Amino acid sequence: MVGLGNPGERYRRTRHNAGFMALDVLAARTGAAGRVLDDAWVAEAALGGATALLVKPLSFMNGSGGPVARVLAARGGSPADLVVLVDDLALELGVIRVRERGSHGGHNGLRSLGESLGTEDFARSGSECGGASCPPTSPRTSSRISSPTRCCSSRRPSAARPTP
Distance separating alpha carbons of residues 97 and 33, to the nearest angstrom: 28
Q: pLDDT value at position 65?
A: 92
Q: pLDDT value at position 136?
A: 41
Q: What is the DSSP string of 70-129?
A: HHHHHHT--GGG-EEEEEETTSPTT-EEEESS---TT-HHHHHHHHHHT---SEEEEEES
103-156 pLDDT, tens digit per residue, is 555 567 888 989 999 998 888 777 655 444 444 434 444 444 444 444 443 333
User: Which has more confidence, 3 or 108?
Assistant: 3
The pLDDT of residue 161 is above 50: no
Q: Where are the domains of the chain?
A: 2-159
Q: pLDDT value at position 35?
A: 93
Any bridge partners for residue 123, and if so which?
83
Superfamily of domain 2-159: Peptidyl-tRNA hydrolase (3.40.50.1470)
The pLDDT of residue 55 is above 80: yes
pTM value is: 0.74
Over the chain, what is the mean pLDDT? 75
Catalytic residues: 16
Evaluated on CA atoms 106, 110, 116, 121, the torsion sign reads negative
